[in-house]
Amino acid sequence: MALCESSNSEPSTVINILYNYGNLSRTTGELQKATELYSEALEKCRKTGSTEYLIQLLRGMVEICFRTGDVHGAARYCRKLLEQSDRLNFPDGSSDFKNLLYEYASLQYEYDITRQSLELSENRRTTALLAFFISVAALGAAFALLLYARQRRENKRLIAQYEEYRKRLLTENSVNDRTAADHRSDIHYALYLKMEQLMKGGLFREKELTLDRMAEVLGTNRTYVSNALNKVAGISFYGYIDSYRIKEATRVLSDPGLAPTVSLKQLADDVGYNNIQTFFKAFKRETGVTPGNYKKELFNLHKFTQGEQ
């Protein structure tokens, strides 16, 4: 009621009312209400320059901060209280003030210890996180290296296997399980031999080489061509074309004199592919590895062989 009637009162009167009302609230345990009243009184002291209740208000705020566990707030109001006591020549010999200084010193010590503990905990947490991420990165790198090494070994095995297959084709016929009599009487075999001659002559390099185009060159129809490949070689037409194209591509990549000077795009074009993507797919399907890995592994192999010599 006093506050409601204090609109026209002197500032010191209003501050007195707020201070006493704050004391009552603090005594009855209404700390939030007491904090609001003390804060309002302190704001009026600041605006009007009144110092009559300033020390008591600051001490009240320190006590509330102590009771609520607000370490930072208590330290802040203690500093303000010390500043005001110096400015107002507060009797530092009084027991109350000495107790307050002791509480402030204890609070400051506790605050410093807490801050150092927090910093130490943060540093430990940061170190632990850093160690964790380094461990994960190391494991990831080790795993990646292991996969890379396994892939390299598999690539070498596939390349060696295909190289052996390619060289064997140069010294023996791809179809050798028929008798000479069969060869002479089988129309499919005769047609297959004609295809072999055409392919060895470089027909596979034609980019638009289709089943109809092959039949046209052979002077027959596409059905005969397809049957000849299926019955004699057990292969489809496009599988047959790819086998010749990839065999030629691996021959170039295996040649130390040619491989360094030819790009994969140029090689794809030379052996009859319209685009490099189709070449890559066919190459991987035939050999098990990409053209780039094939070229790289053979280069390393030649380099190692020359080093031994």
User: Which one-letter amino acid corresponds to residue 201?
Assistant: G
Q: Is residue 143, in this structure, part of any structural domain at all?
A: no
Verify that 97 and 211 share a domain, yes or no: no
Worst-scoring range by mean pLDDT, 38-52, 74-88, 198-212?
A: 74-88
- For residues 171 and 304, state if they share a domain: yes
Are residue 67 and residue 188 in the same domain, yes or no? no
Q: What is the pLDDT of residue 5?
A: 77
User: In the prediction, which pLDDT does 138 show?
Assistant: 81
Q: 176 pLDDT band (50/70/90 cuts)?
A: very low
Neighbours of 243 (CB within 10 A): 18
Residue 104 lies in a domain: yes
Cα distance between residue 291 and residue 273, in whole Å = 14
Which is more confidently placed, 108 or 28? Answer: 28
Average pLDDT, the chain: 80
In this structure, what CATH number is given to the domain that contains residue 28? 1.25.40.10
Is 90 exceeded by the pLDDT of residue 268?
Answer: yes
Q: For residues 295 and 253, give the distance between their C-alpha atoms in angstroms, rounded to a whole number.
A: 6
For 92-133, the pLDDT digits (tens) are 445 565 566 556 656 665 666 666 777 777 888 888 888 888
- Residue ending a domain, among 84, 114, 144, is 114
The answer to whether residues 110 and 179 belong to one domain is no
Same domain, yes or no: 186 and 289: yes
pLDDT computed for residue 271 by the predictor: 95
What's the pLDDT tens digit per position in 269-309? 999 999 999 999 999 988 888 888 888 887 776 554 555 44
Range of the domain at 188: 166-308
Question: Residue 259 and residue 298: Cα distance in Å, rounded?
Answer: 9
Q: Is there a contact between 289 and 248 (Cβ–Cβ < 8 Å)? A: no
Asked, for residue 45, whether it belongs to a domain, the answer is yes
Indicate if 102 and 173 belong to the same structural domain: no
Looking at the structure, tell me whether residues 299 and 205 fall in a common domain: yes
